[in-house]
Amino acid sequence: MRDDYSHRKEITTQKNVSVIIPTYKGEDYILRCLESLNNQTLDKKRYEVIIVLNGEKDNSEDLIKEFINQNQLENFILTSSEKAGASVARNVGINISKNEYITFVDDDDFVSKGYLEGMLKDAKRNSIVCSLFVDVKEDSEEVIDENYINTFILDNLGIIDNDLIKMRPLLSSVAGKLVHRDVIGDIRFRDSLKSGEDVVFFTEISKDIRNIIITDDLKVAYHRVLRSNSVSRQEVSFEFNISQRLTVIKNLNEFMFDFGKLYNREFIKLRIKAQSKFIKDYIDKFPKDKMKIIKLVQAEEKIRYFPFSYIFNDERKLVFSYCFPPYNDPSGIVAMKRISEDFFENGVISDVIQNNMENIRAIDNSLNEFAEMFIGKQIEVMTEPYFKPKFQIKYAKRAYRIAKNLNRKYNYKEIYSRVMWPGSHFAAFYYKLRKPKTHWKAEFSDPVLYREGKIRKSNRFKFIDNFWFWLECIPYIFADELVYTNENQREYMISYFPLKFLKNKILKKSVIKNQSSLENKYYKYKNNPELENNKINIGYFGSFYKNRDISSVFEVFKNLSDPIKTSFIFYVFTNNIDELKDYLTVNNLNEYVKVNSYVDYFDFLNLSSKFDVLLVNDAITKEKIGINPYLPSKYSDYKGSQSDIWAIIEEGSPLSKKTDVKYFSSVGNKESIKEVYKSIYEEFNRKRLYIETNKYLNCR
């Protein structure tokens, strides 16, 4: 947004600049700064110098007034702010400045004679100009030409570029920059920050920077005086390295997840990573504080992106997950959540070896953005993504060779593998054979050898020749820990496994671990429109088949009477769009059901948090195998959404035992479905009455 200039002097076609100097107890060095600005080659009519005293005073004010009077400087303006802080002072300066371009100079620094003229010569609308950046030692006045920023500038003299990522070394400090006023607009420095305010300021204005220009004039230089008490030379401390850095990172996250503005997310991620280096320095010095800091970040609601893998890389575990993000696959997503869950429990980063799935799975880059927070190395094996044994073994062998090379550096103490895709367990087995002391945790997402009462065969011979038999048998014998998602699954898989003597071994080393839910803050990783607040919004994510499962919910619904029926609206996200639309048309339900295709995972999470009720249904298996071993993967995501859950269940299923499900209906029992509709309707009206009563009382 451009500032309203109507209260200022008219800006001419000639480029002019306002110089803003915040000063706090600067009596020992402010005069050198002012001298350098008084001695500029630029006509004094083309620049103003705004000096802002802030906080507790020393003799600076008298010195500055005397300097202005002695030199008869009409273009030097002295003002003040009672509140201390460079950000406060800079904001005061911006607010009273009148020129098209703005530059900032710290009171203990100074600039070359041609600084302002050279910067204005290269200035362009909606752009930033950068000068040479020369360090000067405080005591000896020795000039140090070589610093990270100056080296970058010297390598890129005269360049004009709009690549924020390439030019990011220049966007950490306001020193040595000339900024067009339209880039700043109504954005100001965040005066709540104790440090890092320059980084936050430049990140916030970055969306409006058209170009970054590096002057090619070697006489245009900003001289930074290196002081022992400067922010950049702070001693390692919890306050500076942890508390203040997390505050800056929280602010940077705000821009990253501001979906209404077109910020460069990769640029912001690199800004966050640069801030996290200070945190890494603290951890290196105080390693015992590692889990404390992890918990601090985890608890901060507004920090949704944080580069854990950059900071906490002292210990690694190895993950064989055939399917893994960025591929949108339920099994891969569960593996991703397991990795994040394990990190928050133990502080261990994971290296992942996966397979390429681009021919059979959609790519969801937001999954990768989340997963990379907890992953060190992520290596993709290029084999054909088919279930046939020969392709799975090909992946396993290649994955093992990669793992063997990685182990030379990381010496893994633990490996983890998860199936549905068989190659994961076989790759882990190859590794375990050669590194028997490594702890192998093997997880089964579903029964493998038997699926709904039928044996899965790789040929017609005995069990010992069956690929799927070995997929279960090998982990039972060689894994150190077995993970099942529910008790029914473990009971069922043990019951059909032919080697009964392994039962006690399996029970002894197995655990039941429900699929985890991400924290509520990750349900805000994406942002979708709000739903109708005068309706009961019911969401369903999954397949639709007209002869089973969810169709009974609609069969009952179409026979409901008003006002119950007209209070509901359904949102269905499915891959069976045409079949569902045909069904809705035949049953005159189009006005009550909005049909959508599947969405990316974090869109799904965000949407799920907006519904009044989320619908989930059991797989129907009990008649075939006598027990239901499946817990729908959506349940764990629904649970984290904080929306009410309505489950269509088989009796005795894992889903039927969940205490956080609010509404239950039995599969095929239309009367129980009808009762849930009534309960939801009554609850909705109670809530609405409560809200309206509170509004009425608050208005009295």
Looking at residue 441, its pLDDT comes to 98
* pLDDT above 70 (res 21): yes
268: nearest Cα among 342, 204, 187: 204
On the CB side of 349, how many CA atoms lie within 13 Å of its CA?
A: 20
* pLDDT above 90 (res 282): yes
471: nearest Cα among 322, 580, 661: 322
pLDDT tens profile 85-106 = 999 999 999 999 999 999 999 9
Question: How many CB atoms neighbour CB 424 within 10 A?
Answer: 31
Q: How far apart are CA 254 and CA 422, in angstroms?
A: 41
Q: Provide the mean pLDDT of the chain.
A: 91
* pLDDT above 80 (res 464): no
44: nearest Cα among 84, 9, 74, 14: 74
Amino acid at 686: R
Q: What is the dihedral of CA 349, 353, 359, 361, to 10 degrees?
A: -30
* Residues in contact with 57: Cβ distance below 8 Å, sequence separation at least 6, in sequence order: 25
Contact 39, 114 (CB under 8 A): no
Q: What is the dihedral of CA 235, 236, 237, 240, to 10 degrees?
A: 80
Q: How far apart are CA 360 and CA 329, in angstroms?
A: 10
Angle, vertex CA 254, rays to CA 249 and CA 257, nearest 5: 120
More confident of the two residues 585 and 450: 585
More confident of the two residues 693 and 38: 38
pLDDT tens profile 412-433 = 999 999 998 999 999 999 999 9
* pLDDT above 90 (res 141): no
Report residue 640's pLDDT band, with 50, 70 and 90 as the boundaries. Answer: very high
Q: How far apart are CA 428 and CA 407, in angstroms?
A: 13
pLDDT tens profile 174-225 = 999 999 999 999 999 999 999 999 999 999 999 999 999 999 999 999 999 9
Report residue 57's pLDDT band, with 50, 70 and 90 as the boundaries. Answer: confident
345: nearest Cα among 516, 475, 482: 516
Q: How far apart are CA 156 and CA 148, in angstroms?
A: 13
Looking at residue 549, its pLDDT comes to 64
Two tokens at 555?
């069969």
* pLDDT above 50 (res 544): yes
Q: How far apart are CA 549 and CA 555, in angstroms?
A: 11
**Residue 189 to residues 21, 89, 95, 252, 647: CA-CA distances in angstroms?**
14, 9, 12, 13, 50
Report residue 152's pLDDT band, with 50, 70 and 90 as the boundaries. Answer: very high
CATH number, domain 17-228 = 3.90.550.10
Report residue 137's pLDDT band, with 50, 70 and 90 as the boundaries. Answer: confident
More confident of the two residues 607 and 698: 607
What is the mean predicted confidence (pLDDT) over 664-687? 94
Contact 484, 507 (CB under 8 A): no
Looking at residue 308, its pLDDT comes to 95
* pLDDT above 60 (res 463): no
* pLDDT above 60 (res 6): no
* pLDDT above 50 (res 461): no
* Residues in contact with 293: Cβ distance below 8 Å, sequence separation at least 6, in sequence order: 242, 279, 282, 283
Exposure string over 108-142, b if 16+ CB within 10 A, otherwise e: bbbbbbbbbbbbbebbeeebbbbbbbbbbeeeeee
Report residue 226's pLDDT band, with 50, 70 and 90 as the boundaries. Answer: confident
Q: How far apart are CA 553 and CA 674, in angstroms?
A: 8
* pLDDT above 90 (res 342): yes
Looking at residue 456, its pLDDT comes to 53
Report residue 454's pLDDT band, with 50, 70 and 90 as the boundaries. Answer: low
Give the neighbor-by-neighbor strand order of the sheet with 47-54.
76-81, 47-54, 17-23, 101-104, 177-180, 127-130, 211-214, 160-161
Report the DSSP beta bridge partners of residue 325: none
User: Which range (413-422, 453-462, 518-527, 615-624) has the least confidence?
Assistant: 453-462
> Residue ranges per domain, the chain?
17-228, 238-299, 315-512, 520-687
Q: How far apart are CA 470 and CA 454, in angstroms?
A: 16
Taken in order 124, 127, 128, 131, the sign of the CA dihedral is negative
DSSP output for 210-248: -EEEE---TT-EEEEEE-TTSGGGPPP-HIIIIIIHHHH
Percent of residues, the chain, with pLDDT higher than 70: 94
Looking at residue 584, its pLDDT comes to 94
Contact 392, 421 (CB under 8 A): yes
523: nearest Cα among 635, 632, 639, 614: 639
Contact 634, 572 (CB under 8 A): no
Looking at residue 232, its pLDDT comes to 57
What is the mean predicted confidence (pLDDT) over 228-253? 88
Looking at residue 4, its pLDDT comes to 39
- The CA-based diameter of the chain, rounded to the nearest angstrom, is 104
User: Which range (6-15, 397-406, 423-432, 522-531) has the least confidence?
Assistant: 6-15
| Structural domain 315-512, CATH architecture | 3-Layer(aba) Sandwich (3.40)
> Fold for domain 520-687?
Rossmann fold (3.40.50)
Q: Is residue 150 packed enough to be buried (19+ CB in 10 Å), middle (13-18) or exposed (0-12)? A: buried
pLDDT tens profile 471-515 = 999 999 999 999 999 999 999 999 999 999 999 999 999 999 999
Q: How far apart are CA 190 and CA 192, in angstroms?
A: 6
Two tokens at 551?
């169709």
What is the mean predicted confidence (pLDDT) over 582-610? 95
Report residue 453's pLDDT band, with 50, 70 and 90 as the boundaries. Answer: very low
* Residues in contact with 85: Cβ distance below 8 Å, sequence separation at least 6, in sequence order: 22, 24, 54, 55, 191
* pLDDT above 90 (res 34): yes
Domain 17-228 shares a fold with domain 315-512: no
- At 295, give phi and psi (nearest 5°): -65, -35
Looking at residue 7, its pLDDT comes to 37
DSSP 424: H
**Residue 636 to residues 374, 539, 600: CA-CA distances in angstroms?**
20, 15, 17
